Amino acid sequence: MKTKTNEPPTTNEVIPCRMESCPSDGPTVRSSATCTGAGSAPVWFDVLMIIWFAWTGLLLGVVSLYFMQEIVARTFGAAAGWIFALAVAILNSVGIYLGRFMRWNSWDILQDPLPIAHDIWSLVRHPFSNVRIYGFILLFTLLFLFVYLALHAFGRVMQEYQPLKKS
């Protein structure tokens, strides 16, 4: 590694620092931001990038859910579309919990689904000993639904107030 200079570090300088100082349990937004190496970027840049990536991911999830909800609503009715959206929000929050705290990855469900099923079953089987987990899942579900409903309503308002196109 070079000594500290005004030049930004190269990839060869940053990646070994990440590998040495980060936990071996896999990359996350937090560990990636804290392990980029001293002096590689200002803190405000790391904060801005994390917010940007999180917001982009959230918006992509909201737009995807909107499209899927429209398909379900057209096929099975409006009530089924909203039930689908609620179910997706809950499953999304469970997935965030499993990935962030239980350290499961999305491909683990395909490679070895039994340990994940065992962990989920233990959460369901002992609900009163997992109150904080249910609180986390509820909070993230409400956060996602709040963002989804706000953007959904905003999209509906924008559709209603578009000027009529002349033929």
Domain contains 10: yes
Same domain, 22 and 67: no
Q: How far apart are CA 41 and CA 45, in angstroms?
A: 6
Which residues have CB under 8 Å from 14's CB, separation 6+?
A: 36, 37, 40
Same domain, 37 and 63: no
- Retrieve residue 19's tokens: 């590998």
| Confidence at residue 34, expressed as pLDDT on a 0 to 100 scale | 52
Same domain, 76 and 115: yes
Domain contains 81: yes
Same domain, 67 and 138: yes
User: Mean pLDDT across the chain, nearest whole number?
Assistant: 80
| Confidence at residue 157, expressed as pLDDT on a 0 to 100 scale | 85
Domain contains 46: no
Q: 148 with 85: CB under 8 angstroms?
A: yes
Same domain, 87 and 114: yes
| Confidence at residue 1, expressed as pLDDT on a 0 to 100 scale | 39
Q: How far apart are CA 30 and CA 53, in angstroms?
A: 12
Residue-range definition of the domain harbouring residue 26: 1-41
CA distances from 50 to 45, 91, 136 (A): 9, 23, 21
- Band of residue 165 on the pLDDT scale cut at 50, 70, 90: low
Same domain, 21 and 79: no
| Confidence at residue 48, expressed as pLDDT on a 0 to 100 scale | 94
pLDDT (mean) for 41-63:
92
Total domains in the chain come to 2
Same domain, 66 and 121: yes
Lowest mean pLDDT among 10-24, 32-46, 151-165: 10-24
Lowest mean pLDDT among 33-42, 54-63, 75-84: 33-42
Which residues have CB under 8 Å from 4's CB, separation 6+?
A: 38, 39
Residue 24 has pLDDT above 50, yes or no: no
Q: 84 with 72: CB under 8 angstroms?
A: yes
| Confidence at residue 160, expressed as pLDDT on a 0 to 100 scale | 83
If you ran DSSP here, which 8-state letter would residue 129 be given?
G
Domain contains 104: yes
Report pLDDT digits (tens) over 101-134.
999 988 988 998 999 999 999 889 988 888 999 9
- Band of residue 4 on the pLDDT scale cut at 50, 70, 90: very low
Out of 17-21, 23-27, 44-48, give the one with best mean pLDDT: 44-48
